[in-house]
Amino acid sequence: MNDQTLEQLGEIESLRRTVARLTPSVHALVGSGDDAAVIVADQSFVVSTDTLIENHDFRLDWSSSFDLGYKAVATNLADIAAMGAKPTALVVALVVPKTTKISWLEGFADGLDASCKSLAPGAGVVGGDLASGEQLVVSVTVHGSMEGRTPVLRSGAQAGDIVAVAGTLGKSSCGLALLQSENKDLINSYDDWVSYHLRPEPPIQQGVEASIAGATSMLDLSDGLSVDLMRICKASNVAIELSSKELQGFEAMLELPALGLGVDPKNWVLHGGEDHALVATFPSNAVLPKAFKAIGVVTSGEPELYLDGVPLEAKGWDSITGK
């Protein structure tokens, strides 16, 4: 029965089987199945959207449908965490070829569900849209609650603040490089890094912790440390000084696969995308939440990034040019 295609089953039955695998959000007053869902809110709600496109953001020979569902949720949850909010509900728009097998769609639903359960317990998919097209596209919109706190924007960093990171730096890029090498021995040896690229585990609950600890600015690292930190510099009109000594721990985590591939892991740490780590700035007298590691300081001056006192070029991923 699982070999049937979506075209054979039709939209209604395909959707029914998919939705049956999803754990409802505990925050939904009205869930999937009507014109819209209704979600509990507390004076405000937080919303963000992100899209994954076949052969641009993922390859089906690398990612299972479970991986893809997991990653689509994880990367979106990170945007909510980066506001200091708690994720509550997601809607998922999926475009697939009509020759797609129902088993593929069921695996995708399982990935969505596992990601919610693991990274944001209580949050869940409350609606979506399933349609056919030539190229696979996953578009997720995620919602969260500020629970009465003030949103942590990119624009609040102050000279004197500490810059700190929760999560990994460069691990996703390292996994991507391993996959791109097509070297099966390396891919098998370092499957932890490969797995992180395919199913990232952003520090979602640490976003709320950062907010409570007084974070003055925060974002999630989707395009790379340098380009994303530069966004804080510009929005806050400050400079940031990174210390390579403080980044050594992140490099050390990538040393073995980097050696296997014959490359310097520093580029992954400074410019690699898709880790979805949280980077935040905290007042110098703040007690950093346990998951956060200091990597630099905010200074006054033109928006600019420095590494050990030397200007650092901000470079990362552009979702249009793919460069």
Q: Which residue in the block uniquely carries the two structure tokens 């596992």?
A: 114
Amino acid at 60: L
285 binds its own copies (CB under 8 A): no
Cα–Cα distance list, 217 to 153, 166, 170, 322 (Å): 5, 14, 21, 27
Binding to its own copies (CB under 8 A) within 2-21 occurs at: 6-7, 9-12, 14
Q: Which of 22, 46, 166, 305 binds its own copies (CB under 8 A)?
A: 46
Query: How many whole angstroms separate alpha carbon 232 and alpha carbon 228?
Result: 7
Closest CA to 5 of 97, 96, 95, 99: 99
* Element housing 60 (H / E): none
Q: Which of 19, 114, 137, 159 binds its own copies (CB under 8 A)?
A: 137
Structural contact between residues 264 and 320, judged by C-beta atoms closer than 8 angstroms:
no
50 binds its own copies (CB under 8 A): yes
Contacting range for its own copies; rule: CB under 8 A; set: 53-61, 112-120, 162-170, 177-185: 53-61
For residue 144, the tally of other CB atoms under 10 A from its CB is: 29
3-state secondary structure of 225: helix
Q: Which of 4, 23, 53, 101 binds its own copies (CB under 8 A)?
A: 53
Query: How many whole angstroms separate alpha carbon 316 and alpha carbon 322?
Result: 10
Q: Which of 69, 107, 111, 144 binds its own copies (CB under 8 A)?
A: 144
220 binds its own copies (CB under 8 A): yes
Site string for its own copies, 221-240 (x = CB under 8 A): --------------x-----
Site string for its own copies, 196-215 (x = CB under 8 A): --------------------
Structural contact between residues 210 and 294, judged by C-beta atoms closer than 8 angstroms:
no
Structural contact between residues 273 and 223, judged by C-beta atoms closer than 8 angstroms:
yes
Closest CA to 258 of 248, 268, 249: 268
Q: Which CB atom, from 212 or from 252, has the smaller least distance to its own copies?
A: 212
Q: Which of 17, 154, 199, 271 binds its own copies (CB under 8 A)?
A: 154
Q: Which CB atom, from 235 or from 263, has the smaller least distance to its own copies?
A: 235
147 binds its own copies (CB under 8 A): no
241 binds its own copies (CB under 8 A): no
Q: Which of 1, 20, 35, 310 binds its own copies (CB under 8 A)?
A: 35
Residue 52: CB minimum distance to its own copies, A: 9
Residue 261: CB minimum distance to its own copies, A: 28
Q: Which of 2, 16, 26, 29 binds its own copies (CB under 8 A)?
A: 29
Q: Which of 17, 22, 48, 107 binds its own copies (CB under 8 A)?
A: 48
169 binds its own copies (CB under 8 A): no
3-state per-residue secondary structure call for 238-307: CEEEECHHHHHHHHHCCHHHHHHHCCCCHHHHHHCCCCCCEEEEECCCCCCCCCEEEEEEEECCCCEEEE
Q: Which of 30, 212, 252, 259 binds its own copies (CB under 8 A)?
A: 30
300 binds its own copies (CB under 8 A): no
Q: Which residue in the block uniquely carries the two structure tokens 């980044």?
A: 247
Binding to its own copies (CB under 8 A) within 73-132 occurs at: 78-80, 82-83, 85, 89, 91-93, 95, 98, 126-132
3-state secondary structure of 317: coil
